[in-house]
Chain A
Amino acid sequence: MKTRTSLLLGSLSAALVAFALTSPRVVAADKVDPVADAKAFQNFFFQKFPDVKHEDFVNGPYSMNADLKRQWQEKEEFPPYEFALDAGKEMFSTPFKNGKTYADCFPNGGIGIRQNYPYFDEKDGKVVTLELALNRCREANGEPPYSYVKDEMASLTAYMAFTSRGKPMDIKIPDDPRALEAFENGKRYFYTRRGQLNFSCASCHVQSPGERIRAEILAPALGILNAMPIYRSEWSGMGTTSRRFVTCNSQTRAVPLEPQSDEYRDVEYYLSYVANGLPISGPGARP
């Protein structure tokens, strides 16, 4: 009888301990905690690739493969995005018809601010990316918006990124439930499988960085947007963050969303936030 009672008490205590240990995790899983998410995200990559210097993750596939890195370093002596940089610098300083310039729309005259984009606009209750802010600037000054996926927009963002090189990504999430919701929506988009191939962003850039997909080496998700915009040999030209998202969707056989849709803006917010502290390296060049 005594043995049975002690067995019963023992089981009960074990069950209570197990419940106490697991219940806070259940609560934590439902709570949006960007700081904890960013820490876990960065630690995952730091532990998975202990030999890669933390600031090197922003160089995408080059951080994963020594041969590819050497080729890229040689290419950087005459970078393929140079023409876009020159064009972007000229466009940035050329006044609109009303005499104003892009510098009038941005803090610090638009120089060295790339690391603060995207940001959450508490007035609109939505995420504002650099590309969106540039087109809003144009429209506010009576100019037509540019295509979000290439050419002029890529040149402008290339120049703005170049003036911010080396500055650590510094995305803020204000104390606003809508901002937390945008972060969470971005996270969900990042991990959600889509397209006939049933791939999520994470299928390639979390589960398989450094691995080959056909002829390409996959970049790690950590710091993947720090290098934007990029010159891609595959595109034979420059492409913006919007273009990257659109292409990724198409490659999984999903119909891409419209550039600067809420989903794309939110996933850019999420990916940029979890890369906080890593340097801006854009514009980049990729195979």
Chain B
Amino acid sequence: MKRSLPLAMLLALCFAPNARAANEADYKAAFAAAEAASKEATGLRNQWTVTVQALTAAKKAADGGDFDRATAAAKEAEALAKASIFQANTEKEAWKAMEIR
């Protein structure tokens, strides 16, 4: 009993930030970050279809007032966009490894 109480408190503290429902401001911040990364990917001529889909899903959820889902989708879009930027940058040299010589 003595041991389990602090453990429960620790777990509650760990999950407390995640348990809070996202609000419109959270969504707007997440969407702005995703959009910026997405634009960078487009500029590199390396946009992914899944990034566009995640951005659309975020907008749709936000329009319906579901900011939890909207924020999660925007964060996913940002992660995907960043992966595509990473891919574009590494491939600037990495493509040579595949070349037939």
Alpha-carbon distance A200/B52, docked complex (angstroms): 20
> Chain A residue with minimal CB distance to B97?
A191
A23 vs chain B, min Cβ distance (A): 16
A245 vs chain B, min Cβ distance (A): 13
B63 within 8 A of A: no
Alpha-carbon distance A37/B94, docked complex (angstroms): 18
| Interface residue stretch chosen among A111-119, A155-163, A252-260 | A252-260
Contact present for B96 and A191 (CB under 8 Å): yes
Contact present for B48 and A192 (CB under 8 Å): no
Contact of A191 among B42, B52, B87, B99 (CB under 8 A): B99
The SS class assigned to the B binding surface is: helix
Interface residues on B, range: 20 to 34
Q: With contacts A187-B99, A198-B87, A206-B100 known, is A257 near B45, CB below 8 A?
A: yes
How many residue pairs at the A-B interface have CB separations less than 8 Å?
54
Chain B residues near A255: list those with CB within 8 A.
42, 47-49, 52
A167 within 8 A of B: no
> Chain A residue with minimal CB distance to B52?
A255
Contact present for B96 and A254 (CB under 8 Å): no
Alpha-carbon distance A185/B99, docked complex (angstroms): 13
> Chain A residue with minimal CB distance to B88?
A194
A242-263 vs B, CB cutoff 8 Å, 1 = contact: the mask equals 0000000010011101000001
Binding site for A on B (CB under 8 A): 42, 45-50, 52, 80, 83-84, 87-88, 91, 94-96, 98-101
